[in-house]
Chains A and B, each alone.
Chain A
Amino acid sequence: MPFLTAALAGVIFGIGLLLSGMASPVKVLGFLDLTGHWDPSLAMVMAGAIAIGVVGFAFAKRQTHSLLKLPMELPRATAIDRRLIIGSALFGIGWGLAGVCPGPGLVSLAMGIPQAIIFVAAMLAGMQLSGFIQKRLRFK
């Protein structure tokens, strides 16, 4: 059952990305181009997602277990440290360069778009490096 619900959540997430237009990097870059001809679509996506999310997470926070009796694994980290800032800053730079973030990257990969295949492969390599950095440098 947890597999089925996770798969269904993945399908709905992907359909949401496609319907919202966020699977297209041009739309994302249109949003990030604040000083140009600005396309506010991404702000609507965030607003719609958070409007639903706020209700669901408010309920989730009060539970110790999920409806499928699995432990409620809400993030416990609250630290606003150098790692969070540097990582997020880098993520934003990469996002701004291509207009692709991990979700849309995977959906476009599934659609067989060569540039998305390159993006996801490089992303996996970047994730590997981050694991290495964190282990070797005890980067905090």
Chain B
Amino acid sequence: MSIDWTHFTFGQSLTGGMLIGLAAVMLILLNGQIAGISGIVSKLFNVRQGMWRWAFVMGLLLSPYLYRFFATLPAAQFELHWSVYLIAGFVVGLGSRLGSGCTSGHGVCGLSRLSKRSLVATVVFMGTGFATVYVARHLIGE
């Protein structure tokens, strides 16, 4: 392992992370809800569930347009073949629902709640994430 100092954005990532934490705290303290994106998205089309989810997603979708008022949008680099996003999206959707959460629900909110269940989930998905990139980049090679 060597640290990629040229791409490491210490301050911006820490500040951005704090904003994500602030958003999660706002949602729990004001709405009494967990800012877990996969959970929110999966319940969007369930009419019996709260409509606040649509508002949250609308805000999320609006964010790049508001960001653009203040700063240049960072380049979103999607460099792989389109079929990778198709397969990855499907597995992410399936796994996040079976596991009841993703990076936001388990990683941010769960760890902040000091939940052992979310800690296990986060360790597992980080572990398979590391392993997948290792296999894709270093064993198979793209």
Contacts and interface: CB of A to CB of B under 8 A. Distances in A.
**Interface SS, A side:** helix
Contacts of B58: 7, 10
Interface string A15-26: 111111111111
Contacts of A80: 116-117, 120
Nearest to A103: B37
B55 A7 contact: yes
B87 A122 contact: yes
Name the residue among A40, A94, A134 with the largest chain B CB count within 10 angstroms: A94
B127 to A, nearest CB: 6
Nearest to B80: A98
Nearest to A23: B76
Contacts of B76: 23-25, 104, 108, 111, 113, 116
Interface band, chain A: 35 or more
Given A10-B63, A71-B32, A50 B106 contact: no
B20 to A, nearest CB: 4
Name the residue among B26, B37, B95, B98 with the largest chain A CB count within 10 angstroms: B98
Contacts, number: 508
Contacts of A34: 1, 130, 133-134
Nearest to A33: B133
Contact of B99 (A2, A26, A88, A129): A88
Nearest to B111: A50
Given A95-B129, A98-B84, A18 B67 contact: yes
A57 to B, nearest CB: 5
A22 B102 CA distance: 14
A90 B8 contact: no
Name the residue among A12, A44, A54, A93 with the largest chain B CB count within 10 angstroms: A12
Contact of A16 (B16, B28, B42): B16
A9 B35 contact: yes
A118 B97 contact: no
Given A10-B62, A14-B62, A57-B109, A88 B95 contact: yes
A42 B103 CA distance: 11
Contacts of A104: 76
15 contacts: A12-B26, A16-B22, A18-B63, A25-B80, A32-B129, A38-B1, A49-B112, A53-B113, A74-B113, A92-B127, A95-B92, A96-B129, A110-B65, A119-B92, A130-B93
